[in-house]
Amino acid sequence: DQQVKQNSPSLSVQEGRISILNCDYTNSMFDYFLWYKKYPAEGPTFLISISSIKDKNEDGRFTVFLNKSAKHLSLHIVPSQPGDSAVYFCAVDSNYQLIWGAGTKLIIKP
Partner 1 sequence: EPEVTQTPSHQVTQMGQEVILRCVPISNHLYFYWYRQILGQKVEFLVSFYNNEISEKSEIFDDQFSVERPDGSNFTLKIRSTKLEDSAMYFCASSEGGRVSQPQHFGDGTRLSIL
Residues near partner 1, by CB under 8 A: 31-32, 34, 36, 41-46, 49, 51, 89, 91, 93, 95-103
Q: Are 56 and 63 in contact (CB under 8 A)?
A: yes
Kindly state the smallest distance separating residue 58's Cβ from partner 1, in Å. Answer: 15
Q: Is 84 helix (H, G, I), strand (E, B) or coil?
A: helix
Shortest Cβ 49–partner 1 spacing (Å) = 6
Taking the complex as a whole, how short is the minimal distance between the CB of residue 15 and partner 1, in angstroms? 26
* Other Cβ atoms within 10 Å of 102 Cβ, number: 14
